Structure 1
Amino acid sequence: MVSELRKARGLAVSLAREVDMKNQRLWEIERHNLDLSSRLNSMIAEKDRMNYSFSEEMRKMQVIGLQNAKLKTELESQLNSMHLLVQESEKLKEEVAYQRKELEQRANELGKRESQLDNERTNFYLEKEKIAQNPYDSDYSMTVHINGLKDRLTEKEEELHDMDVLNQTLILREHMSNNELQAARKELIHVLPHILDVTSVIGLKRMGEVAQKPFQDVCMRKFSAQDWELRSVELSSMWQDKVNNPNWHPFKQAVKDGKLQEIVDEDDSHLRELKSQWGEEACNAVVNALMELNEYNPSGRYVVSELWNFKEGRKANLKEVIDCLIQQLKANKSLKRRRDGQRPN
């Protein structure tokens, strides 16, 4: 009986342990399920957030697409306006050239008329002296002759006055035409950075800006890899400030190409020190900036932008700028058509 009780107790203990183990396992499974449920809820929330973000991005892309289409329409409108502007500018140039030619012709004619008037005056005084020396001629003949000469002089003077008025009118019209051309260039300088590609032959050149590459090259040789870039920026900025300083005027008068011109004085103490410490290329960069400022903005001494033909290294005319804009617009349209053709339906 005792043996059976012991067996029963042992079985009960064993069953109790097994129940405990199963309860522990059940608890672990429930905890794992809770963890999986929590992770699943997090994943669902993340998915909802990603769906919302995707929807927002799609909406933004649609807005950007509409804005790009609007900007493209505005750009095409601006280019068409610029094309009309360059046509008008070409007409203005032709008109200015015609007016200048007419002005030169009028000036030559005016010179001839003045010469004729001088001759008429001389003849008048000679005739007057001749008449005065011949007292036997009648007073009537003398009076008629003198009045005739006076009338001719008055007529010549009126012609000279009319030609002078016409001359002033032509000068004023030429001045107005030049102002319109300068206004067109300023407008192109304002919009060009937002339109043309950086690799374009035609673009904007900052006249009077000190080139940084010579200073970068010399600083790479003189300083460590960690310091050279900062030192080159500091150095070029310092010399840019010197170039912009109106109190520094390293120029001198010299005859060049048969004309008296103002050139950079390379014997200036600052330039000699620059060349000695940082080399000839750095010095040339500063000299070029000085020459550009002296040509394009001598009074202000600050950097100005200019339409530039980088291929030929000279100022670009309006026709070149507009032609470049039109070619780029055509290229953009052609590229867009090719991309649209490659998209799947």
Structure 2
Amino acid sequence: MSGDLKVKKNGESYSCPFCSSKKKNTSSLASLVQHSSGVGAAPNRPAKDKATHRALVKHLKNDLAKSPEPQPQVIPVEPLQNKDEKFVWPWMGILVNVPTELKDGRQVGESGNRLKGQLSQFCPLKVIPLWTFRGHTGNAIVEFGKDWNGFRNARTFEGHFAAGGYGKKDWMGKKNQGSDLYGWLARAEDYNSPGLIGDHLRKNGDLKSVNDLAREGARKTDKLVANLANQIETTASLEKMMGQREQLLQSYNEEIRKMQQLARRHSQKIIDENQKLRAELETKMNELDVRSKQLDELAAKSGYDRRNIEQEKQKNAIRSSHLKMATLEQQKADENVLKLVEEQKQREKHAALKKILMLEQQLDAKQKLELEIQQLKGKLKVMEHMPGDEDSASKNRINELSEALQEKIDELDGMESLNQTLVIKESKSNIELQEARNELENGLLDISGGRAHIGIKRMGELDLKAFSKACQKKCSGEDVEVTAAFLCSKWETEIKNPDWHPFRIVIADGKEMALYEINEYKCKGSYPVGELWNFKEDRKVTLKEAVQFVLKQWRANRRKQR
């Protein structure tokens, strides 16, 4: 300033040079700016006081702000004693005694942006002056947001005004508040109070305590964790399903590749045979052409009987025509064979594809059911962690999800039970078929004749004829049968020994088949066992053929008895 007017007293405190007679001392630069702004905007002050205080505000902002002043000390905020105390949320502060003046029949005051600039050290989001039909009410609402940083800023805002003697208690206790601003943090008392301030707080906020917000944050965290767990389970189920699909596709591709290889080998074999036949036809046609030329030359040289030559030419022509027709037929046959091969390949491919699709549909149904069960479990977990557990709608939703989950679990259990039942039925059917087969074997031992083409073959029994043929090459006379019987008996004894391996280099007929049959039927102690056999076709008899044979024998015996 100029003259003897001083703002700064002792390096730490500030005072208003125009209010020294009133002992108007402040402890910080911000408080002095607030005081000067309030006096400069007060409508009941003389014009000279308002002008000097406005000039002081301009000086403080333009000149002293540029000087290397120490920053105002941050007022420490005391820890919150009662965490169940209700505050207005989103966090809001109340600003009162904002300077106003009468202008054009209405009260006017500082705008929200200007007030926000004065309170910039508290980081407010917005300052909302409260107006009525008469104009500015001298009150404003300071918004600090919804997060915990906003709560700290709001408490710092309240602590600053309380430390300077401009808090709520000071405002309510003083009869003459002067022109300075007062501010505090909005609580339940302000929220429920009548008037414009209470109406604004009730319209734009709710009452919540620190513990309420902490519990709500914990519930949101639990809900987020449950959602993430549900997503992880769903992703794992999808990955499992995609892996099974990939395996199924690989199996299908492998089957298709094998079928294509077999079809190519079969087609190549047919083509090679057709080419061989075509080459033979061409050779015969060339031989006929050569023979025809020879006959022409012979007729020209020796005067041979032309009639015989013509007849032979006609025969050759007919044979050549037949060979050409055979060649054409062979070509048509080749085309038909290739067409049939392609059709067979397509049929096999369609059959394999149909089987793959059926298995895939069954797998999809089971995986879809399992995925729905996992999703319902995840939804139940989310509902259990959501707020509003006492709400009837939430309980109904949880009950509906529980019932749907139980239905899906029952459906999956029913599907697995059906599969298990089918497996058990198939096993029982196989046992019954085997028992029926054994009964047929026992019956055929009694009714089968010597020349019947269906009977019981002792699998793994050595053939004495094979030994006799082998002994005839080395022995002669009466020793053949004796030697063959001795060797056959010896082999039957040795076969029972699992460590006995007779085949080194040469394998004799009969013995290899007997050992193969014993190993195939896994006879106990390597003893031969009976098996229903078709001796005419040298193969195992089906159960249907055996039953038909028994019925045929029974009818024949019945007719004989009549």
Structure 1 residue 233, shift from structure 2 partner: 1.0
Q: 1:294-314: per-residue Cα shift (whole Å, max 9, x none)?
A: 221255421000011122222
CA contact (8 A) 1:113 1:160 kept: no
Structure 1 residue 113, shift from structure 2 partner: 5.0
Moved more, 310-319 or 113-122: 113-122
Q: Which has the larger radius of gyration?
A: 2
CA contact (8 A) 1:131 1:142 kept: yes
Structure 2 residue 433 is the aligned partner of structure 1 residue 208: no
CA contact (8 A) 2:461 2:528 kept: yes
* Pair 135,193 (structure 1): closer, same or farther in 2 beyond 3 Å: closer
The structure 1 residue matched to 2:532, chosen from 299, 307, 310, is 307
CA contact (8 A) 1:209 1:289 kept: yes
Q: Which aligned pairs between 1:85-96 and structure 2 lie closer than 5 A?
A: none
Structure 1 residue 140, shift from structure 2 partner: 5.0
Q: Counterpart of 2:400?
A: 148
Q: 1:180-217: per-residue Cα shift (whole Å, max 9, x none)?
A: 22222212212212211111110111101122222101
Structure 2 residue 367 is the aligned partner of structure 1 residue 115: yes
CA contact (8 A) 1:219 1:232 kept: yes
Q: Counterpart of 2:513?
A: 288
CA distance in 1, matches of 2:504, 2:441: 36
Q: 1:48-68: per-residue Cα shift (whole Å, max 9, x none)?
A: xxxxxxxxxxxxxxxxxxxxx
Q: Counterpart of 2:42?
A: none
Q: Which amino acid aligns with 2:543?
A: L
Structure 1 residue 325, shift from structure 2 partner: 3.0
Moved more, 306-315 or 162-171: 162-171
CA distance in 2, matches of 1:228, 1:306: 30
Q: Which aligned pairs between 1:54-203 and structure 2 lie closer than 5 A?
A: 111-112=363-364, 114-124=366-376, 127=379, 140-203=392-455
For the residue of structure 2 that corresponds to 1:171, the secondary structure is: helix
CA distance in 2, matches of 1:299, 1:107: 39
* Pair 118,142 (structure 1): closer, same or farther in 2 beyond 3 Å: farther
The number of aligned residues is: 205
CA distance in 2, matches of 1:137, 1:329: 80
* Pair 125,157 (structure 1): closer, same or farther in 2 beyond 3 Å: closer
Q: Counterpart of 2:503?
A: 271
Q: Counterpart of 1:238?
A: 490
Structure 1 residue 286, shift from structure 2 partner: 1.9
CA distance in 2, matches of 1:154, 1:333: 63
Q: 1:68-100: per-residue Cα shift (whole Å, max 9, x none)?
A: xxxxxxxxxxxxxxxxxxxxxxxxxxxxxxxxx
CA distance in 1, matches of 2:558, 2:366: 62
CA contact (8 A) 1:306 1:315 kept: yes
* Pair 107,171 (structure 1): closer, same or farther in 2 beyond 3 Å: farther
Q: 1:149-176: per-residue Cα shift (whole Å, max 9, x none)?
A: 2221111112222333343333333333
Q: 1:260-281: per-residue Cα shift (whole Å, max 9, x none)?
A: xxxxxxxxxx2026x2xxxx4x
CA distance in 1, matches of 2:431, 2:441: 15
Q: What TM-score do you get using the length of structure 1 for normalisation?
A: 0.50
* Pair 242,222 (structure 1): closer, same or farther in 2 beyond 3 Å: same
Structure 2 residue 554 is the aligned partner of structure 1 residue 322: no
CA distance in 1, matches of 2:446, 2:379: 75
For the residue of structure 1 that corresponds to 2:457, the secondary structure is: strand
CA contact (8 A) 1:208 1:293 kept: yes
For the residue of structure 2 that corresponds to 1:199, the secondary structure is: coil
Q: Which amino acid aligns with 1:241?
A: T
Sequence identity percentage: 38
CA distance in 2, matches of 1:214, 1:112: 58
Structure 1 residue 132, shift from structure 2 partner: 8.5
CA contact (8 A) 2:457 2:532 kept: yes
For the residue of structure 2 that corresponds to 1:305, the secondary structure is: strand
**Structure showing greater relative contact order (alpha-carbon pairs closer than 8 Å, 6 or more residues apart):** 1
Unaligned segments of structure 2, at least 5 residues: 1-357
Structure 1 residue 112, shift from structure 2 partner: 5.0
For the residue of structure 1 that corresponds to 2:503, the secondary structure is: helix
For the residue of structure 1 that corresponds to 2:537, the secondary structure is: coil
CA contact (8 A) 1:202 1:307 kept: yes
Q: Which amino acid aligns with 2:549?
A: C
CA contact (8 A) 2:467 2:484 kept: yes
Q: Counterpart of 2:340?
A: none
CA contact (8 A) 2:441 2:531 kept: yes
Unaligned segments of structure 1, at least 5 residues: 1-105, 251-269, 338-345
For the residue of structure 2 that corresponds to 1:246, the secondary structure is: coil
Q: Counterpart of 1:223?
A: 475
CA contact (8 A) 1:110 1:163 kept: no
Q: Which amino acid aligns with 2:519?
A: N
* Pair 225,247 (structure 1): closer, same or farther in 2 beyond 3 Å: same
Q: 1:217-258: per-residue Cα shift (whole Å, max 9, x none)?
A: 11122113121111111112222222222344x5xxxxxxxx
CA contact (8 A) 2:464 2:488 kept: yes
* Pair 128,208 (structure 1): closer, same or farther in 2 beyond 3 Å: same
CA distance in 1, matches of 2:446, 2:370: 61
CA contact (8 A) 2:523 2:529 kept: no
The structure 2 residue matched to 1:297, chosen from 491, 514, 522, is 522
